[in-house]
Each structure stands twice: as C-alpha cells, then as structure tokens.
A and B are shown apart, each in its own frame.
Chain A
C-alpha cells in the first residue's frame, strides 16, 4: 500500500489543482499541491526519484490542463531535482525545509509564468499579481507542503532509514 502512497497523492494533487481549487479558493489564491507533493517527495527520496516524479506528473498536467506540453514537466522536474539535493535524514525530519523549498519553487514558477505571458503579449499588472497572487500562493503552497510532508514522512521514513543504515554500514 505504501508504494502507492506517492502516486495516489500526485493524482489527488492534480485533481485538487485543476478541478477543486479552481472553484474553491481564497480570492483566487490557491496552492500548487502538485508542486508541494513533488518537493516533499524529493526531499525524502532524492533528486533522481524526485525529478522522475516531477517529470511524469508534469507531463500529465500539461496534456490535460496545460497550455504547452513540457512546460509544467520541466518546472516540476527541475524543482524535484533541486529539492532532492536536500535529501538526508536530518533534512527529512525537519518540517520547515521542504515547505520553504516549496514556497520558493512556487514563487519562481509563477514568475516564469509571468515572464512567459509577458513574452506572449499577455495583458496583466505584475505588481498587482505579485501582491495578490504570487506571494500568497507561495505561502499557501509552503503551508500545504508542510501538511503533505507530515503525512508523507512516516510513510517514506522506513525507506530513508534503510538507506542511511546502508550508508553507515558502508
């Protein structure tokens, strides 16, 4: 059952992001649940697995709901790989590191979206979006990541401990 925990969380996250939170949000502010799951998983499982998870869920997200195929895949994959650099027993026990990375990744992702939209001739006010959308979304994503990390940590803990034991044992 535990091996299905991450795929189930990712599918649920896709549902939350694209269907539920579009209708249920606070003044348009909604967390990026997929990003939160990818970051939490990467901190616990490492760069490679995190990058793969980000790539797969990003491709699904792009095909079903995205504007361009590969855009979210690239962002989620790189976020997962970057977050995976923090892999290790010390960091995985810490419930602040993953949310902090998730908030930063959300901030960067929305700024990449803003830049892309500006390059495509989109009509928007950046300052207003920064204050009313980008920053609150980053904070909310961090908060959601904290909850996900608390859920995911004990599930993944056994695998992390096994890896650490293996490293100590040489």
Chain B
C-alpha cells in the first residue's frame, strides 16, 4: 500500500509540471475518445430534455404531453434541432475564420470537461494528427477560449482563460493600455477575469473591450478576451491591486465547438 502511495505521489509530481503526454496516456485517450464523443452527444440529449421541461409554460407542457405520444416524431425533431444548432454554431465559427484569414484553424468539439470546479479544463476531439501542438491558442466565434496544455494523437486538453491559474497579456482596445488578466474562481458555478497591472492613471471605463496584446508568446494580437464590467481602481501605486473585473467574451458554460489556431501567417506575438 505504501509503495502504491509512493508511486502515485511520484506520478503526481511528474505530471504536474510542464511536460508532454506519455504514449500510454495518448493511446488510452485515443481509444477512449470515440466513447467520450458518443457520451458527450448523449448528454446533449439529456440536457435538452431537462431544459425543455424546466423552461416549459403551461401551453408548452400540454404540448409536451402531446409530443410524448408521438415520441418517434419528437426524436426526429430533436435530432433536427440539434443539427440546426450545430450548423448555426459552425457557421459562426466559419464566419470568424473568414474574417481572420491570417490564421489557420482546426475545428474540434468539446467531448469532456475536467471534474469538479477547481480546474477549468476540457478535452477536445482533435490532437496531434490534426496538427495540434502544446500551447496553441484556442478560440471560438466570440473570442479567446484558452490554450492547449496536453496533446494526444486524437485528443487534446485545453486550459481555459478563466482557470484560476491562467494569465493572459492583454490591452484595452480603446486606449491601447497594456495589462494582464487572470482567471478567478468565484464559486462553483462562475469564474470570471480580473484585470491587473494597468498603467497608473489609465482611463478605463465599464464597457471597455479587452483584447490580447500579442505579448507572452502564446496568443496572437487582437483576439477578444472580455468586457470591463466594474472598475475598482483607476490609479494608484499598488500593482498587485485588482484594476477591474472583466466578463469573458466567451460563454464558458455553453461551449461545444472550438477552433485551435495552428499557425499564423501574418501578425503574431
């Protein structure tokens, strides 16, 4: 037992730093990836069911009862609706890709999320075989999602920007003042971003758009990060003091497809 504990502790330390995924993890992950994709699709159906039940008005409930009698038709309807929504989301991603043609993207679906609320990470169904490498930026049509932290053959793990360990070098789009945002875990259901290191006397107002500034070697310049919701300090000398709260551009509670920027032809950091 002691030996097992010792081996596990060594494993934890060995896998907690900056590392590459071992072939064992990569292989097991690749074998499980289709199962995870299937399981993820099943959960979409379950979530849709609950969403309809809880959002239903009286008329909807009556309608729902009728729909139950024609279960087969409802199933088809659900599938069509799912396809329509997926089509809509992919169209948005395509539009984003077309307006940012200097980047090359790989589109992937989110197939699993990290357990619990402590670490905001998720797994996507594309990996090394699609050209994905560690530290590549991940975006969706709304803005910056995160970066790749582990890569297997057909899967990759993404650490989102709202993870409480994540920091991103940013700037205020209007004033071009540089700063840094860090994820903050507020409670089990919500994470947001805090803005730090804004120059003293900088003019920052709620509603200001925060974008990446291209520094730091990971994220290209100009990707939307969030919007300032509350300014807590406009000037001062304490650089560790939070300057503002930032609402992320991306809705991290409903993230289903993402794009990994695998190369930048034009401007990079």
B114 touches A29 (CB 8 A): no
B8 touches A73 (CB 8 A): yes
Interface digits, B179-202 against A, CB 8 Å rule (1 contact, 0 not)? 000111111111000100000000
B165 touches A74 (CB 8 A): no
In Å, the complex CA distance between A17 and B113 comes to 9
Interface digits, B1-42 against A, CB 8 Å rule (1 contact, 0 not)? 100110111111011100000000100110010001001100
A65 touches B29 (CB 8 A): no
With both chains docked as a complex, state the minimum distance between the C-beta of B110 and any C-beta of chain A, in angstroms: 10
A64 touches B123 (CB 8 A): yes
Interface digits, A39-60 against B, CB 8 Å rule (1 contact, 0 not)? 0000000000001000100000
In this complex, how many residues of chain B approach chain A with their Cβ under 8 Å: the count is: 46
With both chains docked as a complex, state the minimum distance between the C-beta of A120 and any C-beta of chain B, in angstroms: 6
Give the size category of A's interface with B.
35 or more
The residue in chain B whose Cβ has the minimal distance to the Cβ of A51 is B1
Interface digits, B129-171 against A, CB 8 Å rule (1 contact, 0 not)? 0000000000000000000000000000000000011000000
A114 touches B164 (CB 8 A): no
Q: Report A-chain residues with C-beta under 8 Å of the C-beta of B182.
A: 123
Q: Which of these, A23, A68, A72, A81, contacts B16 with CB under 8 Å?
A: A68
Listed by A's residue number, 7 A-B pairs whose Cβ atoms lie within 8 Å are A18-B114, A24-B50, A28-B190, A63-B25, A117-B118, A128-B186, A129-B185
Q: Which residues of B contact A (CB under 8 A)?
A: 1, 4-5, 7-12, 14-16, 25, 28-29, 32, 36, 39-40, 43, 46-47, 50, 111-119, 121, 123, 164-165, 182-190, 194
